[in-house]
């Protein structure tokens, strides 16, 4: 522990844990503004956490000295679902998997999924009745899950999106409650939630292994969907591919990491547009001008400047990944301080993205701030919604493309004003940052 590093006062045993749990975002913001570049706090008697608020230090951890760190403990919980996929694996194993998978996420490759994204979005809007109230957060979860399932398995899906979708929801729920729970009940204990999770995991395993098996048997490893690309991937050095277990773990990883984050980002976009009518008008003018009533395609995205600015600004104010952490493995110096194995360094997108040093009127929704060279003027880790370094989000292009198509296709057809404008919408920082209690809106179809 480093006694020279300042931080907020805590209670004798629990330290700062209760204050953090009561209001994680407020706690981190206050700690950053009162104590400077590196802030020390304690969770319980022995867990020492250091919050980094200087973008240069964040870069040191995520990029320059990344080999001194591994993903922090919180993520280990996810292993019950995703096994040793790229989100949770470390070192050589991570590097090999990342190299194998990277090509599947290149911009040109994923462009082929644009049509699927738009088709599923239009099918969702089709179900909405003019004037009806919907929980748009729920709708965004469903559509992003349908998109990731379809782009993952293409036509190979026999079980149906619904059944797989429900099983994934159970898995996600299990991981997020376990990650934020004090008591660690092993999966072998037959509690109701453990049994439900085990059943869901079995459904998913069966479905995934059946598809892998059929593809391998029929020699159909065409690269038309993500699964095909995973099956066809070969190591550059030794030419070997992935085992079935590894493919299964990566499929689960992409399910876990690849839909809730985008769904949350979309929900925040709808909330921000509903509360900023001038931005909504500007968006509609752009959509009418660029698309002229035509359904958007991937090729339109670069010309939809305001759409892209809205997405960047929503991810600044409400970053779905609101904080990431690393555990020190080998002693390391960051910002003139020495950190020891077992200590945790935390970096918060939410805190950095609202720092007045880098952003004028940091709490205001101003998509136009991204119109100029803002990202060139500020340090790279003053804005990092997708993380950085060798573990930067592998799905960042996928997510941005999906968000742009969803936003353009929906806003072109509907307005979504809040159903209860007087009810405050609060961010809830669980594993990801989502609107607490959903986001009820009223569908107003545009004529």
Q: Which residue is at the shortest CB distance from ligand HEM?
A: 395
How many Cα atoms occupy the beta-carbon half-sphere of 308 within 13 Å? 12
Using only the alpha carbons of the chain, give its radius of gyration: 22
CB of 370 to ligand HEM, least distance (A): 15
Binding of ligand HEM by 254 (CB under 6 A): yes
Q: Which of 7, 15, 258, 296 touches ligand HEM by CB under 6 A?
A: 258
The answer to whether 16 and 10 are in contact (CB under 8 A) is yes
Nearer to ligand HEM, 71 or 137 (CB): 71
Q: Which of 118, 257, 279, 408 touches ligand HEM by CB under 6 A?
A: 257
Q: Which of 385, 427, 435, 440 touches ligand HEM by CB under 6 A?
A: 385
Residue 117's nearest CA partner among 311, 413, 400, 445 is 400
Nearer to ligand HEM, 53 or 265 (CB): 265
Q: Which of 100, 141, 393, 405 touches ligand HEM by CB under 6 A?
A: 393
Stretch that binds ligand HEM, among 49-57, 134-142, 209-217, 388-396 (CB under 6 A): 388-396
The answer to whether 60 and 50 are in contact (CB under 8 A) is no
Neighbours of 293 (CB within 10 A): 7
Binding of ligand HEM by 312 (CB under 6 A): no
CB of 112 to ligand HEM, least distance (A): 14
Q: Which residue reads 């292009």 in tokens?
A: 397
Stretch that binds ligand HEM, among 156-164, 190-198, 288-296, 393-401 (CB under 6 A): 393-401
How many of the chain's residues bind ligand HEM (CB under 6 A)? 23
Neighbours of 20 (CB within 10 A): 20
Q: Which of 40, 57, 150, 391 touches ligand HEM by CB under 6 A?
A: 391
The answer to whether 208 and 158 are in contact (CB under 8 A) is no
Binding of ligand HEM by 435 (CB under 6 A): no
Four-residue CA torsion sign, 424, 429, 432, 433: positive
Four-residue CA torsion sign, 157, 162, 164, 169: positive
Cα→Cα distances 210→80, 198, 199, 215, 376, Å? 20, 18, 16, 9, 48
Nearer to ligand HEM, 19 or 404 (CB): 404
Q: State the binding string over 314-353 for ligand HEM (x if CB under 6 A, else -).
A: ------xx--x-----------------------------
Nearer to ligand HEM, 105 or 419 (CB): 105
Stretch that binds ligand HEM, among 23-31, 251-259, 270-278, 438-446 (CB under 6 A): 251-259
Strand partners, 338: 333
Residues ≥6 apart with Cβ < 8 Å to 297: 114, 115, 118
Binding of ligand HEM by 66 (CB under 6 A): no
Strand partners, 414: 445
Q: Which residue reads 């898995």 in tokens?
A: 171
CB of 320 to ligand HEM, least distance (A): 4
Q: Which residue reads 């996928």 in tokens?
A: 398
Strand partners, 38: 52
Q: Which of 265, 308, 309, 412 touches ligand HEM by CB under 6 A?
A: 265
- The backbone torsions φ and ψ at residue 319, rounded to the nearest 5 degrees and listed phi first, read -65, 125
Binding of ligand HEM by 87 (CB under 6 A): yes
Residues near ligand HEM (CB under 6 A): 71, 86-87, 98, 253-254, 257-258, 261-262, 265, 320-321, 324, 385-387, 391, 393-395, 398-399
């Amino acid at each position: 522990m480093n006694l020279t590093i300042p931080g907020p006062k805590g209670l004798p045993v629990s330290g700062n844990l209760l204050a953090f749990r009561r209001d994680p975002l407020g706690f981190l913001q206050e700690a950053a503004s009162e104590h400077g570049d590196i802030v020390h706090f304690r969770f319980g008697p022995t867990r020492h956490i250091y919050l980094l608020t200087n973008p240069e230090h964040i870069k040191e951890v995520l990029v320059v000295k990344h080999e001194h760190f591994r993903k922090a403990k919180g993520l280990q919980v996810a292993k019950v679902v995703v096994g040793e996929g790229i989100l949770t694996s470390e070192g050589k194993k991570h590097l090999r998997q990342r190299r194998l998978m990277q090509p599947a996420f290149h911009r040109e490759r994923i462009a082929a999924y644009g049509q699927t994204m738009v088709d599923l979005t239009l099918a969702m809007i089709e179900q909405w009745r003019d004037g009806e109230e919907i929980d748009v957060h729920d709708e965004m979860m469903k559509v992003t899950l349908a998109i990731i399932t379809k782009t993952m398995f293409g036509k190979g899906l026999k079980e149906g999106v619904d059944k797989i979708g429900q099983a994934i929801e159970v898995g996600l729920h299990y991981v997020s409650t376990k990650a934020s729970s004090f008591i660690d009940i092993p999966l072998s204990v037959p509690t109701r939630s453990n049994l439900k999770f085990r059943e869901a995991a079995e459904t998913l395993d069966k479905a995934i292994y059946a598809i892998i098996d059929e593809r391998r048997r029929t020699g159909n490893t065409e690269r038309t969907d993500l699964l095909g690309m995973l099956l066809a991937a070969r190591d550059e050095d030794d030419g070997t591919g992935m085992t079935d277990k590894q493919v299964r773990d990566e499929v689960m990883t992409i399910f876990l990491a690849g839909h809730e984050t985008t769904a949350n980002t979309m929900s925040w976009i709808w909330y921000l547009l509903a509360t900023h009518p001038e931005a909504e008008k500007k968006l509609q003018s752009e959509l009418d001008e660029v698309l002229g009533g035509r359904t958007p395609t991937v090729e339109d995205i670069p010309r939809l400047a305001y759409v892209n600015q809205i997405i960047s600004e929503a991810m600044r104010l409400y970053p779905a990944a609101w904080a990431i952490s690393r555990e020190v493995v080998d002693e390391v110096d960051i910002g003139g301080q020495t950190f020891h194995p077992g200590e945790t360094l935390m970096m918060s997108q939410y805190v950095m993205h609202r720092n007045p040093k880098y952003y004028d009127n940091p709490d205001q929704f101003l998509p136009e701030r991204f119109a100029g060279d803002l990202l060139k003027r500020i340090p790279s880790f003053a804005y990092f919604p997708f993380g950085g370094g060798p573990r930067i989000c592998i799905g960042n292009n996928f997510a941005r493309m999906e968000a742009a198509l969803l936003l353009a296709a929906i806003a072109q057809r509907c307005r979504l004003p809040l159903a209860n404008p007087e009810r405050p919408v609060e961010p809830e920082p669980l594993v990801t940052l989502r609107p607490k209690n959903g986001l009820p809106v009223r569908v107003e179809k545009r004529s």
